């Protein structure tokens, strides 16, 4: 069956743009990030739990009837949270569920919207008072109309905060402790603007120290933990500055979802695993930091955990020594871990690992 948007060149461009974003770990990671295109009253948006990286090989876009969703948001209709009741089912060939950020894309008036968890943006957005530095960096970018949005839970709460802090002309949003949103009239315009914004936000990063992989392999032998796919992530434990930055709380939502709230440091894997017992419903810690040695991931974790471990290093290594860090509160962690939309995304991730 031919895709209903097969002949739409902007839709094809969106898929190519999405795939490029998803394949760049500095731009977005695993199932994080989402893109959308509004055409003739329908907003095509990335499906929840899918990876932008797969946009050219899989059908990952869901059609949502825009007017109905916007009316629900205006009326405080709780169905706006998942947006599933506003999907154009006749064209949703795979019965996909819209992104948890569907309401965010809906309230932005531009035709094309890209939301990513760019590590350059995150390194700024976890530092309180970052607006002045961002303004300085954006000053040469004449077409950028931007706003800073303090952290609030993704989904409907974030969409309301965006409405309160932006204008119809706003085309760049810096989301505190969350990421970047870039919008515009066409895919090519958004792609160009996003590239220039990320370049403007670029920060130097500390090089990763080399871990003793043989020693780590011996430590995890016979345990429920494994070594991460990319050895560079051990820098989180080996670099004292980065270790200090990630200690004390979560920095952004996808870390909470795929690596658990905060980080758990331990010299003893067995003791670290016992911190959260299986009967506590949240299971063992997905990641443990072994100070001065490296990090390990639980065998139950998927490729998403590897991607978010790399993201953590890429963000932490860009934070300068002495930086003040704004972390998510335990209450904000709880909102994420007990949010049905995120539980759905976790379930899809676990299903993909099992298949």
Q: What integer pLDDT is reported at residue 20 of this predicted model?
A: 98
Give the number of other CB atoms < 10 A from CB of residue 152: 19
d(CA 191, CA 189): 6
Which pLDDT score, from 0 to 100, does residue 276 have?
63
Question: Which stretches of the chain are assigned E, i.e. beta strand?
Answer: 34-39, 42-46, 61-65, 112-116, 146-149, 172-175, 179-184, 225-226, 287-290, 294-298
| Residue 91 pLDDT | 94
pTM of the model: 0.95
CA-to-CA distance for 282 and 25, rounded, in angstroms? 27
Backbone angles phi, psi at 164, to 5 degrees: -75, -25
- Sheet with 225-226, edge to edge strand ranges: 225-226, 294-298, 287-290
CA distance 207 to 228: 18
What DSSP line would sit under 214-253, residue for residue?
HHHHHHHTTSSEE--SSGGGGHHHH-HHHHHHHTTS-SSH
- Token pair listed for 95: 């019965």
Q: What does each of the 355 residues of the chain score in pLDDT, given as a tens digit? A: 678 898 899 999 999 999 999 999 999 999 999 999 999 999 999 999 999 999 999 999 999 999 999 999 999 999 999 999 999 999 999 999 999 999 999 999 999 999 999 999 999 999 999 999 999 999 999 999 999 999 999 999 999 999 999 999 999 999 999 999 999 999 999 999 999 999 999 999 999 999 999 999 999 999 999 999 999 999 999 999 999 999 999 999 999 999 999 999 999 999 888 876 544 456 899 999 999 999 999 999 999 999 999 999 999 999 999 999 999 999 999 999 888 866 766 666 766 666 5
Radius of gyration of the chain (CA): 20
Predicted pLDDT of residue 8: 94
Contact criterion met (CB below 8 Å) for 223 and 269: yes
**pLDDT in the model for residue 354:** 61
Question: What does the pLDDT read at residue 280?
Answer: 46
Please count the residues of the chain. 355
């Amino acid at each position: 069956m031919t895709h209903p948007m097969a002949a739409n060149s902007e839709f094809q461009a969106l898929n190519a743009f999405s795939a490029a974003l998803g394949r760049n770990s500095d731009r977005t990671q695993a199932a994080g990030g989402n893109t959308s295109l509004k055409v003739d009253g329908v907003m095509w948006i990335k499906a929840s739990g899918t990876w932008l990286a797969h946009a050219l090989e899989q059908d990952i876009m869901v059609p949502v009837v825009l007017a109905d969703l916007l009316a629900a948001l205006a009326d405080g209709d709780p169905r706006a949270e998942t947006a599933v009741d506003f999907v154009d089912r006749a064209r949703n060939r795979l019965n996909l569920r819209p992104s948890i950020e569907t309401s965010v894309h809906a309230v932005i008036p531009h035709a094309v919207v890209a939301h990513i968890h760019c590590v350059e943006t995150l390194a700024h957005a976890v530092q309180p008072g970052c607006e002045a530095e961002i303004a300085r960096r954006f000053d040469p970018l004449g077409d950028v109309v931007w706003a800073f949005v303090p952290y609030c839970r993704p989904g409907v709460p974030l969409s309301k905060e965006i409405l309160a802090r932006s204008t119809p002309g706003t085309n760049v949003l810096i989301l505190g402790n969350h990421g970047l949103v870039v919008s515009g009239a066409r895919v090519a315009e958004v792609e160009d603007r996003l590239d220039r914004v990320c370049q403007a936000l670029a920060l130097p990063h500390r090089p990763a120290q080399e871990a003793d992989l043989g020693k780590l392999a011996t430590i995890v032998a016979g345990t429920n933990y494994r070594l991460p796919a990319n050895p560079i992530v051990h820098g989180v434990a080996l670099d004292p500055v980065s270790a200090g930055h990630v200690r004390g709380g979560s920095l952004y939502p996808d870390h909470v979802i795929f690596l658990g709230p905060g980080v758990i440091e331990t010299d003893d894997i067995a003791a670290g695993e016992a911190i959260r017992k299986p009967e506590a419903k949240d299971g063992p810690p997905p990641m443990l930091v072994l100070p001065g040695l490296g990090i390990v991931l639980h065998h139950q974790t998927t490729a998403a955990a590897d991607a978010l471990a790399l993201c953590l290093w890429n963000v932490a290594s860009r934070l300068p020594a002495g930086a003040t860090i704004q972390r998510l509160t335990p209450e904000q962690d709880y909102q994420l871990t007990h949010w049905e939309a995120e539980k759905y995304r976790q379930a899809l991730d676990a299903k993909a690992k099992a298949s």
